[in-house]
Structures are given as structure tokens and as C-alpha cells.
Structure 1
Amino acid sequence: MVDPKMVELSVYNDIPHLLIPVVTNPRKASKALQKVVDEMENRYELFAKVGVRNIAGFNAKVEEFNAQSEYKQIPLPLIVVIVDELADLMMVASKEVEDAIIRLGQKARAAGIHMILATQRPSVDVISGLIKANVPSRVAFAVSSGTDSRTILDENGAEKLLGRGDMLFKPIDENHPVRLQGSFISDDDVERIVNYIKAQADADYDESFDPGEVSENDGEFSDGESGGDPLFEEAKALVIETQKASASMIQRRLSVGFNRATRLMEELEMAGVIGPAEGTKPRKVLQQ
């Protein structure tokens, strides 16, 4: 579970189903998504060794093996990734988050990994075309305009919803959305259910999914290390190739946020790739 707002999903901490505690730091969230991508790749390697195509085939093999052997194997569980506010993640680490979501959307379902992505700002800078193409099932609650409805569902309709759980659901196998009514569950109901589940078993977190700690000094850098941004070499090559240097160009070409693009410009200046800022004039590129 990823909850950048820190208040929506924190109540679910310590339930036995979680692989790691609820992630609230956007920097850690991008790393956690990458851990899920790594798990997906590991599962596909496992499928290739066993000679199956998906998680159902693998677990059937495990069940068959367990019936004939006293050494029991554990079947692979389904994994669900829930992101409460995608917009916050895209502001901090858009390229890393988008890449992870696209890879999971393309391949993860057969590996038993599924995603639920939520946002209150369904604009094209949050829900990019590549994300939409790889997340085929959509749910839209009441939105303010037909543009937002088209961003979510590829058609109008959500702007006419009444609110209070009124929704349009467009599953992967339907051409037109279905109108549904979501039920209201109060905070007290959620707390009682969660407390009941917690009483059944203790949380058993999986350290292999832990994204690790991210220091406050990591800023917009995606690797959380003091050695600089991992996109530095890519930004350097871009600037030298185009002989132009601006934060807006880096932001657009590398799909990063403005703050990160500005930091990359500072790194390029410190490395002697570009000259210092001269008011409104474009920066000089010092390397050919």
C-alpha cells in the first residue's frame, strides 16, 4: 500500500496480509514499486524453469508436487499494489513511477500481481497515455468536467454522476462503462474490521520488498544516494547533443519534475558541462 497523504491507508498497518508497512514517503514509494517489478521478473524466471505460463499453472505444479512428496512447497500468493494518490508520486519521481507502472501493467497479471491506482486529479500529466494503455479497467467517480471523464474512461459521462458513491466502471472486457453504486463504510466500521483481522495473526513483513530508508537530503534524486542523480549522464548527453540547456527541456525530454530538472541543471553546471545562468539568456553549453 502506498499512501502519500499519510491518513487514508495508515489504519491498515500491521494487518497480516501486508508485505511491508504502508509506504508514505513518495521517494520510498518509487523504490517499493521497483521491488514489485523485481518480484515480477523473478516469478517469470521461475515459470520458465518449471515450464508454465502463469501463476495458476505454477501453483497447480506445486499442488501436484506436494501430493507426491513429504517436502511441501509453498504456492505463490497473489500480490495487490494499492496507490492512493498517484499525482503525488508523479510530481516527485514521474519517470521511475511511470516506468514501474507500465512494466507491471504489461506483464504482471500473469505473474499474479495486480494494481489499483487512485488519484483525485485525473489530468494527462498524472495519467499519461502509456499508463492508460496498460491499465485497462477504469472506475470514475463524479468529476467536474467532460475532459476529466474522457481522461479516465475515454468518453463523457462521469461529469454527470451524482456523487456519494455514484460511479462508472469500465472493465477490460466491456466497450461501455457500467453505472454502479459504491457503499459507504465509516471510519468506525473500518477500524473494527481491521482490529478483528489483526487479532487473528501478527504482521509478517517480507524484508525483500522493503524499499529501505531515504534521507531528507535525497531531494528529488531517485536513488537516494549522495553521489548525484542517476539521470545525470543522460541529461549530459542530451545537452551536448542538442547544444541547448534549459530545465524545461530536461523536464520534457526526461519526464522528470521541475525541481529535479533544476537540480540536474545545477549538477551540469558544477561538472562544467554548461555555463552559469545569465539572467533570461539561455545557458551556454561548454562541451561539444
Structure 2
Amino acid sequence: MDNGSNNLLGDFLRARRESTSPAQAGFLHAPSRRTPGLRREEVAMLAGVSNSYYIRLEQGRERNPSAQVLSALARVLRLDPDATEYLYSLAHPWARPQVETGVMDQVSPSLLRLVNLSRHAPALVLGRRFEVLAHNPLIEALYEGMTHIDHCVRMIYLSPAAVDFYPDWEKAARAKTAQLRTAVAADPDDPYLRGLVAELTAASAEFRRIWALHEVQARGNEIKELRHPRLGDLSLSWEVLSVSGSGQKFVTLAAEPGSHSEWALRELVESLTVPASV
């Protein structure tokens, strides 16, 4: 899944070790070093395991660490709850919930009606593979100038306008890539997800760079910072509701009352309702 690697646990531990500074781990007066992050022996010492055991973990020769070892590694590497859950899923893949692999999502008629009834707010249905399964006309108006709007991850990496559309493109790309890695961990044999990672790896050097960071993040509510080509900078709340039993998400975007973003959304609504002059 990771560019041919079958050592996802070791790859993840190495990436997070290299991104954890000695100061973060409590080595306040560590001398300068040629390579970034912690040394293997430092992680082993702080986690209470032998250096040889930790090396076997990174090399993929030890694949069954105990819950106590995983908890210690999460602490040493300063993993947040999403990254900790991901670590456990890599170490104990048999504990993952079974997902029906290869079956594409279908949106129920009632959910489609809900999307179409959202006339004053951009609304969409997001599949578990990051596909935009349905959306109302306001989504197209909001994402004016963007390509690949039928897929959240492809849009960030393959749309030529993405770098300008997201004021902080790096933050947006890293968040979506971290969410993709979490989805892959939950269903590593899904051919669609495997193909998506292979496609983006071949098409984008930026994806290859960010994917190699091994960051993980669950999907949820967040603030979207966007730069509309006509209406300027927008700050919108991305509100997510899970659809029971489907893995799908119903998403709406809302603006703070009285803000420029609220005015911009009204402008988009009016642009869709006012007939074009002949």
C-alpha cells in the first residue's frame, strides 16, 4: 500500500521518530545531529524496551507488540488520539472492523432530497473513499474554477487552481492526506483506495512528500479557508453528520453571521436564482 512496502508499522514508527525533536522528548540539551528527530536507541530507552527490540519493530521483523509497548511508543512519539488509534490498527490489523471491500457507495433517495433542499448553504454527501457522491448547485458555485470536485483528495492535488484556491494549501493538503491514510488503515485491501494512492503517487510529487510523513487524522468538523476567484477569502465551517450504517457523511458549509463569508454565500445563492440577462 505504501509504494510497495509491506512494513506499514515500521514505516510509521520511523516517520514519527524522525519528526519528533529531542526537545519534544525531553532532551533539552541534546547536541546538534546530522539526521532529524530521535535516534532509535532514544525511543527504545524512553519506551522501556531494548534497542534491538525497537530496531526489529522498525524493520518489520517484530509484528506483534503488546498494548503496553504501543502505549509507551504513543507517549514517546507524542501521538494524538487519531495517530494512536492508527498505530494500534497497524499493529493489530485483525482487530479492524470488517468493511465490504470494493462495493461503491449509493446515496439513498431521502438523502438526495435533503441535499437538494439545502438551497441557502453548500451541501454534499461524502463517501468513505472521499468521493463526492452528491452535491447541490451551491457547491459548484463555491468551488468555481476547480477541477476534480467529485473527489476531495484528487481536487487538492490534481486541480491546477488548488494552490490559489486554498490560502494555506499545505495545511489543507496535509489534513486531507492524513484523513486518507486513516481510511486506508481501516480498509487496507480496498482496491479503490489502493488505486487512488498509486494514482496520486505517480501524478504528484507533493503527494509523495506529504504521504511519506505518515500523518493521520479522523474526518470531522473543521474550518475551511478558501479563496474564491470572485468573492475573495472565505472562512466556512465544515459541519459533518454521519449517515447511520453507510459510512457516508452529510456535509454543509456555514458562515459566521454578519461576516464577509456570509455575504459571499448570499451572493452565490442570488447568482443561481437570478436569470442571466440576454
**Which TM-score band applies after superposition, normalised by the shorter structure?**
under 0.3
TM-score by length of 2: 0.26
TM-score by length of 1: 0.25
Q: Higher relative contact order at CA 8 Å, sep ≥6: structure 1 or structure 2?
A: 1
Larger-gyration structure (1/2): 1
